[in-house]
Structure 1
């Protein structure tokens, strides 16, 4: 088990080449570790991009960083794969990889047999249950799919559409309870949706459950395409193209410990830009400085497991990885923190360190990032106050991949946080390891 505050160290990089495609033109857009690994089993991860999906296993030998377990090639040249997620066969338990891209189909690949399992429309991401996928589509909608074989004739369990996104949806992620979905898209909007029961009374019928309105909608958090959003406890981390930062924020009044509101509740608000079914609007908490991250579809990674320090990581266009220890911020910043001392830029006449020293009763301040909710191992009384949520916090640690220059596109952590794998342009796969 790695030390709680230990950042991963560089293990190695490799460019994959097979099926006569050019490595330099091969861009990997997504990577995920198999999340259902049993104790003692070797971790495996999948990467996808263009027409290729590769299953790999990280190794500890010095000669290589990983080995290829299985390779899938899509014969459809127009597929342009860019997203994947792991699931399990509801009958056999076999590990399955769902991949999708420009062509609006999800292909489900069986890692054990090496065969194509089924076809389902639209882009997908997994909730807690391995049988349920949520899909984000360019048709402005989000769909919920039930992959249990019993529902194969009617796999679409719900559609989130109507009062939400007005352009293509780029990112979806589930709350750890599985009861909420956060989404972002081309319309610069961020939405929070309540997930209906799956299966419900419409299962195996020609009627599909429709969720007409998100419980929260805002176009005020970001100014460009929102291509990555994740829950961090009840808080939200999100970023948009061209902004060069990641924003940590909260929806006022949202508390996952309370009863879930009805799925079709209509959000209300005084302004068109932000509507909420909860009591309030939203509040910015922190912003993380991410230089050279202006490209579209450049996503951050988040390691967040019980009794370990949560780590936020972002890769930029110049082969550099930036790391933040979020519990270090949650517990409070030391006044001699070298990361903060080296800051030279100030906004609004003061920097982050000055804010910590002086405290504030400003309405924008936050007493602790989580108040002891998102990090159960942190006592609730450990609090600090920052009165400038627009100040950019530099990385606690960074690392540049030697001898190569490429843009990172996606980052994944293994269960337990021992391995970190990043993928990007020009066929690059970078492996890091803790411990």
Structure 2
């Protein structure tokens, strides 16, 4: 099957629903004071989702991540995290529809006899030993890997402010943890974003056992809880976003990967000022950020869009700017509503008529029905030899997909059709991912109109409707629909989803998707959310 996965039409395939899996209620393990689903500190803003007195708390998975440290031909393993459970499952491509999931381990906070680890222990796998935290209320996770053995570990965090590493070390924070991410260039390094307005860089290397926190991004970066952080592929830069509507880009400064100290350190290095900071991209709470090369993907509640944008003047190939030129916060001036009030950058320190902006929007992606809900996180599947695919699930259970390669392919296709110098005796093939075609001009199919000698088209008679000689033969409704999905026409146009799947809920309350994850090989896509449900999608196989 591999030949059709990454070449030709197979490379453009998007997944279909495969199976839905759910976990038992969390409510039996939660006390009356639990509000992880009921206030702005802990992820949900809409009052309709507040837990009414005397009712069960909202049950839901907040995070799902595939283990990235497996061979592409291995059965993928993923972890899903709810408030009181962590479940680790394996997917089997060869299994029948109802037997896709195999649970490797279920971690519950009412388990007894669990051991809390404070140092690496050789010979133990994730299914053998776990950390017990009776007051844990989890909401995020990431996979990492031991530097000495290469064994994968699962890191889990939540509102108790503890990074739990099954089976490695614990580190405490002053506030709850809202996101965890692993450094692409060094899997033993992770970053946590927290309610205490910091991003902290942690090492799982045994050499840093006594002081695992290497670096703290704090100071004048964020002024409210941070909900999301992501490493650049080179490990040098971190982008973060949160409740203050800000998005910050920070250079990790004197200790940058792979140059983090290899031995013990007495105290973490602190970075006080980001090299770029803006509150102008979004008008709401920024709950998800990610790098796409040197560009940034981000979303916020109330905007109903994911935005792809770039910091002008920034290139990861250039030497990083010196620490001492990181811009200081602006002092607000009365009646000053200029761009400098909302954005500061070390890459374009001052605006001018020649360079009036410090960042540039590239694309927008329409994510309807999000409204004021936040902590709904997208995922960019971006692997070598595979198309970059952006995926998101909204509050009504609609899973939305955008294949970024289709945007480029569509631009090339329409450019070819509109080329006045093109040899019009040779057909242009329309790809299958454009979908079914309406009848051509004048309400007739192209074949019929041509065979009857229509004067409205110069297209020779063809047998296949996907072979097009002239753009005039296309139905204008088709072109308008394609443009809405694939044409990067202007900065204000948000691309409609290329593919949409609706998760049907058994009850009256629709499925709310919290996080999306892709398997490394690109075959499986998991969406975790309300009801402790994981909805699994699959491509290149039986759905």
TM-score bin, normalised by smaller chain:
0.7 to 0.9
Q: What are the equivalent positions in structure 2 for 1:35-74 lying under 5 Å apart?
A: 35-60=68-93, 61-74=96-109
User: What's 1:8 paired with?
Assistant: 15
Residues 236 and 81 of structure 1, relative CA distance in 2, 3 Å threshold? same
Distance 2:238 2:387 in 1: 24
Of residues 149, 155, 171, the one that matches 1:120 is 171
Provide the secondary structure at the position in 1 that maps to 2:385: coil
TM-score by length of 2: 0.67
- With normalisation by structure 1, the TM-score equals 0.83
Find the partner of 2:287 among 215, 227, 230: 227
SS at structure 2 position matched to 1:271: helix
- 1:187-229 Cα distance to aligned partner (Å, 9 max, x none): 0000001123256469523232111111110000011110000
Instruction: Quote how far apart the aligned CAs of 1:90 are.
Output: 2.9
Residues 139 and 167 in structure 1, CA contact (< 8 A), matched pair in contact too: yes
Task: State the shift of 1:332 in Å.
Answer: 4.2
Q: Figure out how many residues of one structure are paired with residues of the other and give that number.
A: 391
Distance in 2 (CA, whole Å) between partners of 1:264 and 1:48 is 40
Deviates more, 1:36-45 or 1:19-28: 19-28
The residue that corresponds to 2:444 in the other structure is none
Q: 1:197 aligns with which of 252, 256, 263?
A: 256
Preserved contact between residue 526 and residue 537 of structure 2 (Cα < 8 Å): yes
8 Å Cα contact 1:29/1:49 also seen in 2: yes
SS in 1 for 2:408: helix
Instruction: Indicate the SS of the match to 1:205.
Output: coil
Q: Secondary structure at the match of 1:327?
A: helix
CA-CA distance at 1:319 after TM superposition: 1.5
In 1, distance between residues paired with 2:260 and 2:377?
Answer: 34
Q: Is this contact kept in 2: 1:85–1:125, CA < 8 A? A: yes
2:496 corresponds to: 394
Partner secondary structure for residue 500 of structure 2: strand
Question: In the alignment, what sits opposite 1:289?
Answer: 366
- Three-state SS of the structure 1 residue aligned to 2:325 is coil
| Structure whose alpha-carbon radius of gyration is higher | 2
What's 2:143 paired with? 86
1:121 CA drift (Å)? 2.2
Distance 2:522 2:72 in 1: 14
Q: What is the deviation of 1:177?
A: 1.2
Match of 2:343 among 259, 266, 274: 274
Shift of residue 74, structure 1, vs aligned partner? 2.6
CA distance in 1: counterparts of 2:19 and 2:60, whole angstroms: 18
2:165 to 97, 100, 108: 108
- Using the alignment, how far apart are the partners of 1:259 and 1:231 within structure 2? 18
- 1:433, CA displacement in angstroms? 0.9
Aligned counterparts of 1:50 and 1:20: Cα–Cα separation in 2: 9
Unpaired runs of 5+ residues, structure 1, are 111-116, 343-352, 358-368, 370-383
Task: Specify which structure has the higher proportion of helix.
Answer: 2
Superposed displacement of residue 107, structure 1: 0.6
Measure, in 2, the Cα distance between the counterparts of 1:158 and 1:130. 16
Aligned equivalent of 1:381 = none
Deviation at 1:167, TM superposition (A): 0.8
C-alpha separation in 1, matches of 2:28 and 2:153: 25
Task: Give 1:417 deviation, angstroms.
Answer: 0.5
Residue 251 (1) aligns with residue 311 (2): yes
Query: Runs of 5+ in structure 2 lacking a partner?
Result: 30-55, 111-132, 331-338, 349-356, 415-429, 439-478
Q: What RMSD in Å do the two structures reach over aligned CA positions? A: 2.7
Equivalent residues of 1:13, 1:65 under 8 A apart: no
